[in-house]
């Protein structure tokens, strides 16, 4: 089981997010604790009023809404009754057992998961401290519940990851196969959660691997000035498809302003993965092996590296970005070092392509010579060097430094004289 706790300033946004999922038949409410009457018959405004009553008891507290998600392993098919028990036990263990809370079972993913909505303002008007609640309380609660309910432990989740789930998580978006917002949201959630990037360009490089693009907008636009973004599906050639969707429409709110807060931290986290990526790139340049640009990109893809060359209208390459899907990092070429910049890579490709092209005529000649040598295998002259060896071997000169003797030509000259 994996637990995540998010504190927010908007109870309305968190509650309505889950209620909208219910309206779309993508979730259902399975538990209401601390609500008078039959909560399933309450509308969203009545549910909001229950929380708002507590929020008014401590109006100076701005961050007063709590959103918790509990995710279970893909092989665990848990009934609503079991999820109700887990939800109540978890809230009790983290100290929120007496708080009113709503539990929603979401149906928009292959694995079982549920969302819990509550507040950290008590009926006595006190604020419950949320600082470091994940490490101090949630982790202990999670481990205890895994044992009590015999769940797959989070520490072993890598050993039990379903290949189908893993493949679906990183599947490229194809316009029209899923609702556009849902398809983009799946990619945004995975990339923002797992990948480390330090600029909008690097972020777009990661998104582009899954056919999604972040759009900054025109410099004169309000969205540009406020550092907002729009997201669009793109085709194989990088062209926008369909109608773009504002970042504010997605639950994680991936605006440029929010992304920039993470750039510095990502820069530190990805440093540890530089040596491994550089080593894997170097292995693609094997001596005595023809490496074209296309072959370099294809071989890199087999190593889990997406190589993206940037070029101008004339086709001249001026930049390169590496998306390392193995380590979940994005690097501009120059950030790895001068030897991995676009200019250096193009020079390395050129140096490994030209020698191979010069050898091609000789190799083709060798293939033609092969059958001739086979036909002469029974000849008394088979002990002599082959024609290919003659072509490749250095000229044998007379020890005295003179020109090699041409016996046959000299003999003909003597016959003419006589």
Give me the domains of the chain, ranges plus CATH numbers. 2-164 (3.30.930), 170-369 (no CATH)
State how far the Cα of 251 lies from the Cα of 169, in Å rounded to an integer. Answer: 18
pLDDT digits (tens, 9 = 90+) for 366-388: 556 555 555 544 444 444 555 54
pTM value surpassing 0.75:
no
pLDDT the model gives residue 405: 54
State how far the Cα of 365 lies from the Cα of 157, in Å rounded to an integer. Answer: 57
Tokens of 204: 């777009």
**Which ranges constitute the DSSP H helices of 293-406?**
293-302, 333-336, 342-375, 387-392
pLDDT the model gives residue 174: 85
Report, as ranges of residue numbers, the positions in the chain whose pLDDT lies below 70: 37-40, 155-170, 287-289, 352-418
State how far the Cα of 154 lies from the Cα of 147, in Å rounded to an integer. Answer: 11
Number of Cβ within a 10 Å radius of residue 17: 16
What is the DSSP secondary-structure string of 110-174?
SS-EEEEEEESB-TTSPBPP-TTHIIIIIHHHHHHHHHHTTPPPGGGGGGG--HHHHHHHTPPP-
Tokens of 247: 């970042």
State how far the Cα of 205 lies from the Cα of 213, in Å rounded to an integer. Answer: 8
Tokens of 210: 């899954």
Question: Residue-wise over 378-405: b if at least 16 C-beta within 10 A, else e?
Answer: eeeeeeeebebeeeeeeeeeeeeeeeee
């Amino acid at each position: 089981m994996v637990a995540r706790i998010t504190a927010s300033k908007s109870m309305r946004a968190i509650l309505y997010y889950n209620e909208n999922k219910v309206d779309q038949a993508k979730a259902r409410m399975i538990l209401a604790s601390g609500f008078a009457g039959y909560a399933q018959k309450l509308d969203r405004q009545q549910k909001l009023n229950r929380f708002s009553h507590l929020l008014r008891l401590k109006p100076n507290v701005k961050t007063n809404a709590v959103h918790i998600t509990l995710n279970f392993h893909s092989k665990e098919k848990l009934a609503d009754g079991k999820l109700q028990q887990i939800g109540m036990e978890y809230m009790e263990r983290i100290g929120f057992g007496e708080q009113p809370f709503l539990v929603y079972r979401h149906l928009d993913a292959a694995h079982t998961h549920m969302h819990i909505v509550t507040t950290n303002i008590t009926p006595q008007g006190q604020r419950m401290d949320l600082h470091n609640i994940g490490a101090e309380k949630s982790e202990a609660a999670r481990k205890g519940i895994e044992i009590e309910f015999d769940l797959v432990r989070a520490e072993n989740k890598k050993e039990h990851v379903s290949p189908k789930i893993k493949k679906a998580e990183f599947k490229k978006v194809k316009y029209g196969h899923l609702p556009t917002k849902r398809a983009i949201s799946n990619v945004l959630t995975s990339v923002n959660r797992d990948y480390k990037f330090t600029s909008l360009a690097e972020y777009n490089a990661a998104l582009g691997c899954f056919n999604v693009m972040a759009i900054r907008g025109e410099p004169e636009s309000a969205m540009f000035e406020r550092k907002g973004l729009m997201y669009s599906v793109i085709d194989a050639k990088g062209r926008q498809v369909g109608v773009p969707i504002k970042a504010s429409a997605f639950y994680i709110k991936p605006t440029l302003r929010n992304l920039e807060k993470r750039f510095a931290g990502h820069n530190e986290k990805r440093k540890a993965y530089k040596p491994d990526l550089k080593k894997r790139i170097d292995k693609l340049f094997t001596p005595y092996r023809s490496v074209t640009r296309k072959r370099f990109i294809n071989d890199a893809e087999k190593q889990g590296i997406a190589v993206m060359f940037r070029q101008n209208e004339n086709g001249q390459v001026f930049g390169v970005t590496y998306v390392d899907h193995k380590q979940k990092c994005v690097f501009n070429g120059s950030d790895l070092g001068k030897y991995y910049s676009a200019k250096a890579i193009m020079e390395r490709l050129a140096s490994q392509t030209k020698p191979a092209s010069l050898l091609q005529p000789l190799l083709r000649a060798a293939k033609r010579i092969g059958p001739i040598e086979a036909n002469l295998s029974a000849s008394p002259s088979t002990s002599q060097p082959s024609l290919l060896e003659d072509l490749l071997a250095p000229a044998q000169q007379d020890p005295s430094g003179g020109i090699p003797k041409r016996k046959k030509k000299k003999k003909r000259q003597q016959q003419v004289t006589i």
